[in-house]
Amino acid sequence: MTERTFRPAAPDLPPVATVNDTTALARAADATRVAGIGPQTQPARAEHATAPAPAPAPGPTASESESGPGDGAGSEPEPEPAVVTVTEMPVVLYEVAGAIARVTMNRPEFRNAQNSKMTYALDDAFYRAAGDPAVKVIILAGAGRHFSAGHDIGTPGRDVDRSFDRRAGLWWDHVGELGAESRFAREQEVYLGMCRRWRELPKPTIAQVHGACIAGGLMLAWVCDLIVASDDAFFADPVVRMGIPGVEYFAHPWVMGPRAAKEFLFLGERVDAQRALQLGMVNRVVPRAELAAEVTSIAERIATMPRLGLALTKKAVNQSEDLMGLQTGMDSVFGLHHLAHAHNAEVGSDSLAGQDARSMRDARRASESST
């Protein structure tokens, strides 16, 4: 860990919280078997992103029960951004215990909003687990109170204008490019490309989902082979409110069926864990206190199977799913997704139809109060 001092770049963002109150797992990052991947980055601004993500930094005293994940609630903007000191934590933690690798998203103060720094750190972790002969099964979890509130569209660590070494495809760097070209190149790499790459990881993966699993968070859970949710988990893809037909990794009709997918998208409302179980979107629902132990138990039992048998079985099911149209369907919908981004940018102020985390929260609350 290192410390640095900075001013929040965006004038409408409150000062970022001092990161000193993360989870026990995060505090264990110095332990010998826990490695951090990718320190948090510093402020960047962006013209576009995708799914709604959590609010600007809620501040250390903000109550999530009041603001809600991905809701955009935050403290009121400060007249002058304050200079604050941030203790950097790795954005992804990597731990191996026996045959199990545990990959933990570690931006709990932002409800694990996924910026590119986290995306590449996740990729590092998955690549590492894939190449480690001792690892048989991989668990993906989130530190703090939520699995993931989606793509980062509003935290001080937002980094959509930053270049990274691309590895999910051959599209050129989006930074400095204009309009749809920039958006398409970026989202091919960090959203669609990365998610496809992770889905093909030749070892079983389990998403351990608690709290919010919203928009871009869905993509992370869906690329895993199994999803085990706690009874407090909830799922939603509200981006239709931005005029966008779902998140980039458009697996909705395959993970819950076409009719349920339409309801899920048309309403954009939260679906609780039991409903997700009924839809076949998750494998199991367990009490919150038992979630980690249940996932670990499942992983340990899977790990008794032969590695190649597991890899071929995973590929068999994935190939079958592809023959049901998953890959080609996703490619065609990706075009619609970018039509929506481009339309928004053409007729409005930005590619997200002028929405941000806060306006999305307000719209959801207004919708709920009207019923």
Q: Terminal CA-to-CA distance of the chain, rounded, Å?
A: 47
CB of 156 to Zn ion, least distance (A): 21
CB of 337 to Zn ion, least distance (A): 6
> What secondary structure letter does DSSP report for 191?
I
The span from the CA of 256 to the CA of 148, in Å, is: 19
Strands 212-214 and 284-286 come out as unpaired
| Number of neighbouring beta carbons within 10 Å of residue 55 | 32
Closer to Zn ion at the Cβ: 71 or 187?
187
The span from the CA of 72 to the CA of 269, in Å, is: 16
Coil vs helix vs strand at 339: helix
The span from the CA of 64 to the CA of 79, in Å, is: 24
Residue 91 in tokens: 């954005």
Which string of x and - marks every residue 4-43 that binds Zn ion (by CB under 5 A)?
----------------------------------------
CB of 222 to Zn ion, least distance (A): 16
Closer to Zn ion at the Cβ: 187 or 356?
187
Closer to Zn ion at the Cβ: 90 or 154?
154
Closer to Zn ion at the Cβ: 206 or 340?
340
Closer to Zn ion at the Cβ: 95 or 187?
187
Coil vs helix vs strand at 87: strand
CB of 223 to Zn ion, least distance (A): 16
Whether the CB-CB separation of 231 and 266 falls below 8 Å is answered with no
Rounded to the nearest angstrom, the gap between the alpha carbon of residue 317 and the centroid of all alpha carbons in its chain is 24
Question: Quick check: 112 binds Zn ion (CB under 5 A)?
Answer: no
Helix (H) or strand (E) holding 146, with range, is: none
Closer to Zn ion at the Cβ: 26 or 168?
168
CB of 91 to Zn ion, least distance (A): 21
CB of 239 to Zn ion, least distance (A): 8
Which string of x and - marks every residue 46-75 that binds Zn ion (by CB under 5 A)?
----x-------------------------
Closer to Zn ion at the Cβ: 37 or 214?
214
Q: Which residue is nearest to Zn ion (CB)?
A: 50
Residues in the interface with Zn ion (CB under 5 A) total 2
Closer to Zn ion at the Cβ: 314 or 341?
341
Which residues lie across from 5 on neighbouring strands? 85
Helix 326-347 / helix 307-323 crossing angle, nearest 10 deg: 60
Stretch that binds Zn ion, among 45-53, 72-80, 90-98, 136-144 (CB under 5 A): 45-53
CB of 49 to Zn ion, least distance (A): 7
Residue 292 in tokens: 């980690």
């600007």: which residue's tokens? 56
CB of 68 to Zn ion, least distance (A): 23
Site residues for Zn ion, window 162-191 (CB under 5 A)?
187
Which of 108, 96, 292 is closest to 212 using CA atoms?
108
Chain residues binding Zn ion by CB under 5 A are 50, 187
